Amino acid sequence: MPLITVSPAGLYCKAGDFYIDPWRSVDTAMITHAHSDHARSGSSRYFATGISQGILRKRLGDDIDLQGVNYGEPLKLGDTWVSFHSAGHVLGSAQVRIEHKDEVWVISGDYKRGADPTCDPFEVVPCDGFISEATFGLPIYNWDSGEETCRRIYNWWQSDQERASILFCYSFGKAQRVLSELMKFTDRPVYVHGAIQILNTIYREAGIPLLETISTSDMPKNHSYKGELILAPPSGHRSSWMKRFARPQTAFASGWMAVRGARRRRGYERGFVLSDHADWKGLVQTILQTGAKKVYVTHGQTDVLSRYLRECHDIDASPLKTLFEGEADI
């Protein structure tokens, strides 16, 4: 990999002397997005998209040295030109484009191709080399639209007005996507776990419309949630937080719900297939559209996707070991 190498601290560009989503403390870090496996504390200087600054400072500290950059804005670092381009994953998520002499590489971070009202759509960036995730890199993963899936979530909620309906989903990105998509079906307020409410505030400050939400931590212990929808992170399942609800119906929203038996193994009554990562078709489509001749595949079904690209599309593709996790299987 001539322009990008894998060091003990992460993906490194020697020509620009910076790292992309490093997993150790470094001098200069380019951050694709604020999920914890891509944005770690301890680096001296950070660059990220301007719209992601609120969440990054919430997660890494208000006092970090962080420069916000607009999508497409070129930065001169060493002998390279670097720019951020939308990844369509979560608020402020980006691909990092690196140009050095006559060579262009793109590190995609995490990305998705489906429409999402809470973040900018994915931008195809032509390049010579592309580093792609493969979280859901199997043909069995094929997503319906977020709107259609959230219609099912709304119907599930409405189907039982005698119990509380608790939907477990990731606090950053997934919860806000559900709250935004549900606006097409209702204006009824939704209760949320405190961890989600904190991030909702940042989304609203960034101008993202969401349903009105009420934190469960602001409600009395004997409050009745009968007929209400509550969003909570997976860590809330089977925790003491659940004691405030009387026999709720439960569901989990995740791409992993496409796997038969996944819902039952996790102890949820219902599963909704909703992911902020590209499905199989989205991964293949994206890689082909970039025109990249060299592709490295990280975190997920790396062997399957790499072999498919080599055998079916004659692309020089191979797995790349990193510490990125994709959509955690929890």
**Which pLDDT belongs to residue 1?**
53
Q: Which two three-digit tokens encode residue 244? A: 């405030």
Which residues face 107 on adjacent strands?
Answer: 96, 131
How would DSSP label each residue in 30-91? E-S--STTT--S--SEEEEEGGGHHHHHHHH-TTS-EEEE-TT--EEETTEEEEEEE-SSST
Give domain limits for the chain.
Answer: 5-140+277-319, 146-272
pLDDT of residue 118: 98
- In the structure encoding, which two tokens stand for residue 288, read together? 């082909």
CATH architecture assigned to 5-140+277-319: 4-Layer Sandwich (3.60)
Q: What's residue 2's pLDDT?
A: 75
Evaluated on CA atoms 313, 317, 319, 324, the torsion sign reads: negative
At the topology level, CATH places domain 146-272 in: Rossmann fold (3.40.50)
Instruction: Judge whether 91 and 176 are in contact, CB under 8 Å.
Output: yes
> Nearest CA to 23 among 2, 5, 37?
37
Name the least confident of 163-167, 275-279, 286-290, 326-330: 326-330
pLDDT band per the 50, 70, 90 thresholds, residue 329: very low
Q: Is the pLDDT of residue 107 over 80?
A: yes
- The model's pLDDT over 7-33, given as tens digits with 9 standing for 90+, comes to 999 999 999 999 999 999 999 999 999
Instruction: Compute the mean pLDDT over every residue in the chain, rounded to the nearest whole number.
Output: 96
Reference 86, options 142, 40, 48, 128; nearest CA is 48
- Tell me the three state secondary structure of residue 246: coil
Residues 143-165 have pLDDT tens digits of 999 999 999 999 999 999 999 99
For residue 328, what pLDDT is reported? 59
Place of tokens 């909620």: 157
**What pTM does this model have?**
0.95
Give the pLDDT band (50/70/90) at residue 264: confident
Q: Which two tokens stand for residue 301?
A: 């079904």
Axis crossing angle, helix 53-60 with helix 194-205, rounded to the nearest 10: 140
Contact call for residues 192 and 230 (beta carbons, < 8 A):
yes
Would you say residue 179 has pLDDT above 90?
yes
**253, 285, 271: which is closest to 114 by C-alpha?**
285
Which pLDDT score is estimated for 251? 96
Q: For residue 43, give the nearest of 60, 25, 66, 31 by alpha carbon.
A: 25
For 103, the token pair is: 């060579």
